Every structure is written in structure tokens, then in C-alpha cells.
Amino acid sequence: MTNAPPSRKPKTAAKKTPAKSVKKHKPATVLIVGAGFAGLGTAIRLQQAGIKDMVILERAGEVGGTWRDNNYPGAACDIPSNLYSYSFDQNPDWSRSFSGSGEILGYIKAMVKRFGLEKYIRFNQNVSDLAFDEEPGLWHATTDSGEIFSGRAAVMAQGPLSNASFPDISGIEKYQGHKVHSAAWDHDYDFRGKKVGVIGTGASAIQIIPELVKDASKLTVFQRTPAWVVPRPDFDTPDWQKTLFRKVPASQSALRKGLYLAHESMALAVIWNSPMTRLAERLGRWHLKRQVKDRWLRRQLTPDYRIGCKRILVSNDYYPALQQSNCKLITWPISRMSENGILTAEGIEHQFDCIVFATGFDVGHSGTPFPVRGTGGRKLDEDWKRGAQAYKSINVAGYPNLFLTFGPNSGPGHNSALVYMESQIDYIVKGVKTILDKNLKALSVRGGAQDEYNSRIQKRLAKTNWNSGCKSWYLTEDGVNATMYPGFATQYARQMASLELKDYELIPA
Amino acid sequence: MAMIDLDKMLVKVKSTQWALSDIDWDAPGADLITEEQWPKLKEFMTDLMWIEHVGARAFAAMAKKAPTDTLREIYTYFHAEEQRHANVEMALMKRWGMLDGDELPEPNINLRLIIEWLDRHSDEVPVYVLGTVVPMLEIALDGALCKFLLDTVDDPVCHQAFEKINDDESRHLGVGFSVMEMQGHGATYIKTVEMAAQIANPRVILGIASYFPLLNKMRDNVVAMGLSEEKLYACMEKFEKIGGRTKEGRSNPWFQIIKFHSRWMVDRSNKFYHVPVDALVKATSYIPRKLLPAVPSWVRELTYEPTA
């Protein structure tokens, strides 16, 4: 059970403006790429640590990352809001136990105001290149507008995935009807009375489908692999709770702690194969049986892989939506797309006014969203060709003073992404303070430490449910898991709690 | 039959997909069905369509239990392809004016029992049991019936459709026999013990109790329609010939069992087999349909419409 899909713009939205002249800005202490949860959280903690000389580069015209881009109908978080928020900025006023994307975006915007982050953010600055200049020990970020921003340290907080992904279906370019991607919702399109197809039955799709079925005259859902779906304990927050949280903030912290521990216990079901895994599967099957009476439909919706191997979905209204009279689930393989719709292997052409692609994102297992160049001209996408690797998910050998958020093997399968993010942010603050306090030109993780860390991680990953045989976006084509962290959030927090200088090479300025 | 490369076969299957809309259902030739042919052909097409459809469901069960990802994907396609064949046959029936509005033609009682069995038990039956029975059904029923149809019907649209269907079926058989051979690898003694255990499995016993009368019933039906019994038996013998060509194929105990059964089946003088099985056919014909549970919803997935 993770959180929101990461923030990305679809390929079509990425327009490059040719640079006319280069405008170099005065180097800052810290350069942050991305003004989503990770970038803004880093800025807050740096500011609280007294480091206020920073620049945040944001490619869009507003903050919010994931929650700005993923605003399709029904978009919501599948982690309770009291846990999917920062511990250092808790919100007593969440309207629901699982908030929608609009409310989460509101929380992010309010955070920017509360901590006065506006002054750091440079909007509409899409980074096209990030390079380390060894001599002065500076990272230079070149943006599409032709400006160069520099910093002694750089934080990549652009989200772990790079682009909205369209499926590899033959003839996709032939389709003449309207196309919408879940990560770039077309709010101007009127779905009322339309014949709509949805490709995908993942985390976004199961939120979109119950909304679309209300408007579309006919909704056809194309499923390749059924997911495990468990009930969502969603409810409106009672007023007394909001009052209590406002008057006694410790009560909210206590709830947060309780939620955290409850999610931690789910690691036993999700990450490793244990009796808890069987229990979780039983819960999923019970949920399906309770909501779907038809035996064949239930069979079509029953996953054939171990729970936890792919992302677990939470929904109370997905199965009922599929059984509406205007909705149909198609599990036949898709053969190709035509001018009018989708042809499936049972020989039928399903014709649509609009097709919604709820097909997720291009996962950057090995690539980077823009070229990142380290010492000696090395390139991160080349170094990661055989699967991304980092030391403690945050630093990469050969890329001094560069910190990753949601780097390789930092993904949570069972707990809030923001819990992991807080650990990363605090580590970044430690790293930046080390650079400043020791006046370093470069704080560079040693290759040996990185290799040793990764061999440990991969050994542990081999025993997890993610590596138990199903195909998922957690794995590269070669089956390498460069995405998930094989352990409890508490373990992750413990490994991030200290910055071991022995694992780094320190080059004085 | 030499073992085939299943990965290459999957690529081939994916690249040879076709749709109902590839056929011009309004092309001339529908009137070539004679008045005399019409009522028999209607019954024949109904049986054929249902056989394809139950074949589809069997592939669905095999996909669930397939030992490799490639085979799982292949069976998933075959499931869809059999459904496509049933859709095409329904579209032919529509073209020939054999459908009463949108109503689905009724399956005969033996097919109805097979549908019931497949729906309730097939997912629990080991893949190698279905993996041997399905090629037999495909070669005997599908093969014989399709050949008979093409020999009898002159409508060019029917020929065009069955050319495509037969291409698919040859791939199904290729994979079917290859999988039977794969299952023949290894110690025969262990396989025989495993098979013996399965024969004691009530699910398999029920399946056999539905399968035996189905074959005899279909024999009666095709004979009534004018297909010579020998042609049906010749197709069944092909199963023995192809399946037993290699040592691996012959080592598959399920192949041996099906082979012996087909020998009994084609030997009309074998009273020990035919008297009780024909009695079963007769007995099943008395089963009131009202006593059977509602048809499973996958049955209603059939359509003659090329577009949805």
C-alpha cells in the first residue's frame, strides 16, 4: 500500500523552448529540483536548520508535484491523511480519513505560505541538464529558458518517475477519438453520455472508474492483470476530532503514531511471505466475494500472484462500479487499436468516443529525467544502465554533493511515502551541514560503500514478495528491483539517522 | 510432432490476430444454403459454436495453471481465440437467418453438463489433464465438424471464416501436442501414480462422466446430419497418431488413457463401453433443464456483432 503516483507531465506536455541567451545566476548553497512534497519538505527542514540560501526550480507554474498533476476525478491518497503529511506540519483539519487530491494540494500550498517558501521558488524552470563542476565544487542546472542556476549541493526532488506512460499497443497512433491520460486529465472534456474505454486497472484506474461510470453512457474497462484490492476505511472526519486535534496537538501525534505502527505491521504481509500474507490475501478475497456475487466476474478479478508482489489497491467503490449496468470488464488480450477503438483477441472491435489511459508512468529504473553529469564526465543514466544504484538510496558515487529523494530502493510498499521522505530530508540536511561546517568542495560517497550497501539490499530483496515472480513496475526488464526498500520504515529511518563520514570522501574547498 | 518453441509461437499468435470485422458479413453467398440443409445446419452450427465455447473455457482454466508465463499467455490468447471462433460461428448463423433475434441458441444437454462441469471444476483440475483432453476434443470434434461443414456448405463467407479459424486451430494443436510431450518427460512411474491419484479425484470422475456421453452424443448428432461416422473416427485416430509419434508423447499416461478411450469409442462392437455410455446419453436427455443451475455469465459473452 503506497501513496500517490509520482508527479509527472505527459510526454506531449513537455515542450522545449530553444534558449536564446544564457543567464547565469549567483550560486546558492542548495539547489532543489522540484517543488512537490519532497522539494518543499527539504526546503522547510533546511530553513529550520538555518540554511536559507537556496533555490527551488519548478517546471510548472505552481507547486504540488504529484498532487498538482494527478487531479483526475476521484484522485485520492491511499494512505490515511494523518500519516500522509509531514510530522513537522500536521493538519488538524483533514476532512476525510483518506483525502482527495484537491485537499492534499491545498495542504501543500498552505505549507508554502506558512513557511514562507515562495521566495525560493523559480517557476517555469524546466531543468534540462544538471552537471557538477569539479573545480569550484558547484552543481549547475541549465533550464529550458536558457538560465543556469548553481548550488554547492543539489537535491533531485523531481519525483521518482519521469513521464506518463502510454501502453505499447500496436496502432495506438491510428485512434481518432479523444485520448486522456490519468496524469494529465482533460477537465474540459465532457464525459456525459459518451462511450468511454479505460485501459488499466491500477491505482489511478480504480479511482477513476467509479467516477466515470456515473457520467459515461457506456464504460468499458480493459484489464491485463487483476490487482489485490482491500477495503478502504474511509470516513468523514467528525468535527469533535478536528477540535481535539487543534486543542491537543499531542492527540493527533498519538493517532499518527498509531497509524504508523499499524502500517509497519503490514510489512509482514506485504514485504515478506508470512502467515500475515495469507491473512491479507484472505481479506482481499473476502472483500471481492462480499462485493461481487457473479462467479465468473470474481474469477476475472482474482489475482494469481502473491499479495504484495505488486502494489495493493484500496477501494470500496471499484468492484461495485464494475457491476453497474453501463460498465463492462474486458479481460481479453488487446490485439491492436483502430481508428474507432480497441480490437481484442475475441475478435470484437470496441468503439469509443474517448479512451482513458490509466497506464501509469515510465519508471526510471535506469534512466534519469534529464542528463545528470558527475565527476570526470560520467553520466548517471550510463552508470545506471544495468539498474539504478545508490548509497542508502540518497547518494551516488561520482556525483558529489548530490542528494536524491526517492532514489533507488527507497520505495515503501506498506507505509506512507512521506515517512520515508522525512528520513531522506533529514539526511540531506545533515549532508549539507557537513559540507558547510567542514567547508567542503565535495562530499562524495565511496564506491565501495555503495557497492557493499547494494549487495546487502539485493540479498534482502531476493527474499521479498516483490521478487516472487510477478511482473511489476518495481522490477527492471532483467528482474532487478531498483525501486523498493526491503524492510520496515523504522529500519529505513534508522539507516538514515546517521551520516557515516567513513563512507565518504571529503575534499576541502 | 517435434517440440515447438513456445516463445516464438507466442509471437506468432500475437502477430496473427484477426477480428470479425475483417470479414464482410453482407457479401453475397448466404443464399447458397439450401432449404434442405437449413434446419440440420442450424443444429450443427449450434453444437459447433458451443464446442468452441467450452473449448474456450477449458483454455481459461489451463491459463490459470500453466507452468510458465509464456504458456499462460498463449492459453490466454487461445481462450480468446476459441471465443472468437464461437462469435464467428454465431455471426454465420445470423447471416443464414438462424438466430431468433438476439437470443443465444440453446446448447444440447450434454454440452450443458460440460459447461456446468467446466464452470465448477475445471480451474481445480491439473493442467496436464485438460492439456490432453483438449487436443482430443479439438482434433476430433472441432476438426471433424469443420471439415464436414466445408465439404457441405458453399457459402464463400463460410469458407473465408473457416480458413482463418483453421489457421488458429493448427496453432492450438501444435501447442497442445507439444505440451503433451513436455508432460511425458521424466519418470513414467511417478506420472502414472500421479495420474492414478487424479482418476480418484471426484472432480475428474465427474468430468469423465460428462465427457464420455458428450462424445457419443456428438457422434450421434453428426451421423444424423450426414457425416460419415468413419470420418469422425479418422480424426480421432489422428490424435493417437500425432500424440504417439514421440517417446515423450507416449510416456504421457494421460495420452495413453485418452488413446484407449478413443479406441473404445471408435469400436462400435465394444458393447462394454457403448451400452452404458449410450444409456448415459439417453439418461441425460431426461434431465429437466429447470433442475440445472443458471448458465454461468461467461456463456453470455458470445456475440455475433463485430463491434461493441
At A404-422, the pLDDT tens digits run: 999 999 988 899 999 999 9
pLDDT at A104 over 70: yes
Give the model's confidence band at A13: pLDDT under 50 very low, under 70 low, under 90 confident, else very high. Answer: very low
Strands A341-344 vs A334-337: parallel, antiparallel or unpaired: antiparallel
State residue A20's pLDDT score.
57
pLDDT at A1 over 60: no
Q: What is the DSSP letter of B124?
A: G
Weakest mean pLDDT among A115-119, A123-127, A286-290, B269-273 = B269-273
Same domain membership, residue A188 and residue A152: no
In terms of DSSP H, where are the helices of A49-153? 66-69, 101-114
Same domain membership, residue A185 and residue A326: yes
In chain B, what's the furthest Cα-to-Cα distance?
58
Residues 6 or more apart whose Cβ sits within 8 Å of residue A400? A132, A137, A374, A375, A442, A443, A444, A507
The answer to whether residue B32 sits within a structural domain is no
Higher per-residue pLDDT: B161 or B298:
B161
Is A94:A364 a contact under the CB 8 Å cutoff? Answer: no
Please, which contacts does B160-165 make with residues 24 or more away whose CB atoms are closer than 8 Å? B160/B23, B161/B23, B161/B88, B161/B91, B161/B92, B164/B18, B164/B22, B164/B23, B164/B88, B165/B85, B165/B88
Same domain membership, residue A462 and residue A484: yes
Q: What is the DSSP letter of B17?
A: -
Higher per-residue pLDDT: A373 or B196:
A373
Q: What is the DSSP letter of A184?
A: B
The answer to whether residue B18 sits within a structural domain is no
The answer to whether residue B218 sits within a structural domain is yes
CA distance A64 to A61: 10
Is A103:A95 a contact under the CB 8 Å cutoff? Answer: yes
State residue B104's pLDDT score.
84
How far CA B81 is from CA of A313, A339, B19, in Å, comes to 31, 22, 10
State residue B108's pLDDT score.
83
Q: B6-15 and B156-184 are packed helices; what angle lies between their axes, rounded to 10 degrees?
A: 160
pLDDT at A5 over 50: no
Q: How does pLDDT run across B119-159, given as a tens digit for each residue?
A: 888 888 888 788 888 888 888 777 777 877 888 899 999 99
The answer to whether residue A123 sits within a structural domain is yes
Higher per-residue pLDDT: A301 or A17:
A301
Same domain membership, residue A441 and residue A479: yes
Task: Determine the 3-state secondary structure of B224 from DSSP.
Answer: helix
CA distance B33 to B45: 13
pLDDT at B60 over 90: yes
Which member of B73, B123, B306 has the closest CB to residue A348? B306
Nearest chain B residue to A195 by CA: give it.
Answer: B308
Nearest chain B residue to A343 by CA: give it.
Answer: B19
Same domain membership, residue A339 and residue A372: no
Weakest mean pLDDT among A56-65, A343-352, B283-292 = B283-292
The answer to whether residue B113 sits within a structural domain is yes
Give the model's confidence band at B186: pLDDT under 50 very low, under 70 low, under 90 confident, else very high. Answer: low
- Residue % of chain A over a pLDDT of 70: 94
The answer to whether residue A5 sits within a structural domain is no
Weakest mean pLDDT among A161-175, A357-371, A485-499, B255-269 = A357-371
Same domain membership, residue A180 and residue A127: no
Q: Shortest Cα distance from B17 to chain A (angstroms)?
A: 6
Strands A54-57 vs A121-122: parallel, antiparallel or unpaired: parallel
Q: Cell match 481484442: residue?
A: A344
State residue B248's pLDDT score.
80
Is B306:B91 a contact under the CB 8 Å cutoff? Answer: yes
**CATH code, domain with A341:** 3.50.50.60
The answer to whether residue B168 sits within a structural domain is yes
Q: Which residue in B54, B94, B297 has the most chain A C-beta atoms within 10 A of its own C-beta, making it the best mutation to test that interface? A: B297
Higher per-residue pLDDT: B223 or B25:
B25
State residue B195's pLDDT score.
64
Q: How many domains does chain A have?
A: 2
Identity at A260, one-letter amino acid code: Y
* A30 closest CA partner among A159, A214, A161, A157: A157
Vertex A62: Cα angle to A56 and A68 (nearest 5): 110
Tell me what the mean pLDDT of segment A161-177 comes to.
Answer: 83
Q: Which B residues, 196 through 255, put their C-beta within 8 Å of a C-beta on chain A? A: none
CA distance B50 to B305: 17
Q: Which residues of A touch B296 (CB under 8 A)?
A: 295-296
Residues 6 or more apart whose Cβ sits within 8 Å of residue B43? B221, B225
Give the model's confidence band at B223: pLDDT under 50 very low, under 70 low, under 90 confident, else very high. Answer: confident
Is B259:B133 a contact under the CB 8 Å cutoff? Answer: no
Same domain membership, residue A189 and residue A84: no
Weakest mean pLDDT among A158-167, A392-401, A489-498, B51-60 = A158-167
Which member of B69, B88, B296 has the closest CB to residue A347? B88
Q: Which residue in B54, B119, B122, B298 has the most chain A C-beta atoms within 10 A of its own C-beta, making it the best mutation to test that interface? A: B298
Nearest chain B residue to A294 by CA: give it.
Answer: B297
pLDDT at A15 over 60: no
Neighbours of A290 (CB within 10 A): 10
* A201 closest CA partner among A108, A270, A303: A303
Q: Which residues of A touch B20 (CB under 8 A)?
A: 347-349
The answer to whether residue B28 sits within a structural domain is no
pLDDT at A10 over 50: no
Nearest chain A residue to B300 by CA: give it.
Answer: A296
Strands A147-156 vs A402-404: parallel, antiparallel or unpaired: parallel
CB contact under 8 A, B298 and A343: no
pLDDT at B288 over 90: no
Q: Which residue in A331, A348, A350 has the most chain B C-beta atoms within 10 A of its own C-beta, making it the best mutation to test that interface? A: A348
**CATH code, domain with B281:** 1.20.1260.10
Q: How does pLDDT run across A328-347, given as a tens digit for each residue?
A: 999 999 999 999 999 999 99
Q: How many domains does chain B have?
A: 1
CB contact under 8 A, B308 and A220: yes
Q: B229-243 and B253-266 are packed helices; what angle lies between their axes, rounded to 10 degrees?
A: 160
* H/E stretch holding A335: strand A334-337
Q: Cell match 494421460: residue?
A: B254
* Sequence-ordered strand ranges (E) for A118-187: 121-122, 127-133, 138-143, 147-156, 161-164, 178-181
CB contact under 8 A, B17 and A343: yes
Give the model's confidence band at A447: pLDDT under 50 very low, under 70 low, under 90 confident, else very high. Answer: very high
Nearest chain B residue to A304 by CA: give it.
Answer: B64
The answer to whether residue A489 sits within a structural domain is yes
The answer to whether residue B61 sits within a structural domain is yes
Higher per-residue pLDDT: B256 or A103:
A103
Containing domain of residue B76, as a range? 6-11+37-295
Tell me what the mean pLDDT of segment A250-278 comes to.
Answer: 94
Q: Cell match 548553497: residue?
A: A29
Tell me what the mean pLDDT of segment B254-258 comes to.
Answer: 83
CB contact under 8 A, B307 and A343: no
CB contact under 8 A, B80 and A348: no
The answer to whether residue A101 sits within a structural domain is yes
Nearest chain A residue to B82 by CA: give it.
Answer: A346
CA A198, B59, A306, A229 torsion: positive or negative?
positive
CB contact under 8 A, A347 and B301: no
Which member of A220, A297, A343 has the closest CB to residue B19? A343
Q: Give me chain B's average pLDDT, please.
A: 84
The answer to whether residue A10 sits within a structural domain is no
Q: How does pLDDT run across A355-405, given as a tens digit for each residue?
A: 999 987 765 555 688 999 999 999 999 999 888 899 999 999 999 999 999
In terms of DSSP H, where are the helices of A73-226? 101-114, 205-215
Tell me what the mean pLDDT of segment A491-498 comes to.
Answer: 96
CB contact under 8 A, B84 and A297: no
Residues 6 or more apart whose Cβ sits within 8 Å of residue A437? none
Q: Which B residues, 67 through 106, put their C-beta within 8 Å of a C-beta on chain A? A: 69, 73, 76-77, 80-81, 83-84, 87-88
CB contact under 8 A, A347 and B87: yes
Which member of B81, B296, B308 has the closest CB to residue A350? B308
Q: What is the DSSP letter of A464?
A: B
Among residues A333, A359, A385, the one where a domain terminates is A359
CA distance A489 to B175: 47
Tell me what the mean pLDDT of segment B75-88 comes to.
Answer: 95
Residues 6 or more apart whose Cβ sits within 8 Å of residue A157? A32, A33, A34, A36, A38, A39, A42, A405
Q: Shortest Cα distance from B302 to chain A (angstroms)?
A: 9
State residue A7's pLDDT score.
41
Containing domain of residue A384, as a range? 20-162+363-508
Based on DSSP, count helices (H) and strands (E) in chain B, helices before strands: 13, 0
Q: Shortest Cα distance from B81 to chain A (angstroms)?
A: 5
Same domain membership, residue A335 and residue A193: yes
* B155 closest CA partner among B19, B27, B42: B27
CB contact under 8 A, B84 and A296: no
The answer to whether residue A267 sits within a structural domain is no
Same domain membership, residue A323 and residue A276: yes
Higher per-residue pLDDT: B193 or A40:
A40
CA distance B90 to B48: 10
CA distance B151 to B148: 5
Q: How far is CA B40 from its chain centroid?
A: 20
**DSSP notation for B273-307:** HHHHHHHHHHHHHTS-GGGSPPPPGGGGG----SB
pLDDT at A3 over 70: no
Give the model's confidence band at A25: pLDDT under 50 very low, under 70 low, under 90 confident, else very high. Answer: very high
CA distance A273 to A182: 32
Question: B202: burial class by Cβ within 10 Å (0-12, 13-18, 19+)?
Answer: exposed
State residue B234's pLDDT score.
82
Among residues A359, A377, A403, the one where a domain terminates is A359
Tell me what the mean pLDDT of segment A313-323 comes to.
Answer: 96
Among residues A339, A359, A379, the one where a domain terminates is A359
Which member of B14, B80, B307 has the closest CB to residue A346? B80
Give the model's confidence band at A49: pLDDT under 50 very low, under 70 low, under 90 confident, else very high. Answer: very high
Q: Which residues of A touch B77 (CB under 8 A)?
A: 333, 345
The answer to whether residue A285 sits within a structural domain is yes
CA distance B267 to B277: 13
Nearest chain B residue to A350 by CA: give it.
Answer: B308
Same domain membership, residue A316 and residue A334: yes
The x, y and z cell numbers of residue A487, run together, are 524492510
Same domain membership, residue A387 and residue A331: no
- Residue % of chain A over a pLDDT of 90: 82
Same domain membership, residue A421 and residue A303: no
The answer to whether residue B221 sits within a structural domain is yes
CA distance B257 to B244: 12
State residue B122's pLDDT score.
86
Is A425:A42 a contact under the CB 8 Å cutoff? Answer: yes
- Residue % of chain B over a pLDDT of 70: 93
**What ipTM goes with this model?**
0.87
**DSSP notation for A352-407:** -SEEEE---EEE-SS--SS-EE-GGG-BHHHHTTTS---BTTTB-TT-TTEEESS-
Give the model's confidence band at B199: pLDDT under 50 very low, under 70 low, under 90 confident, else very high. Answer: low
CA distance A173 to A493: 46
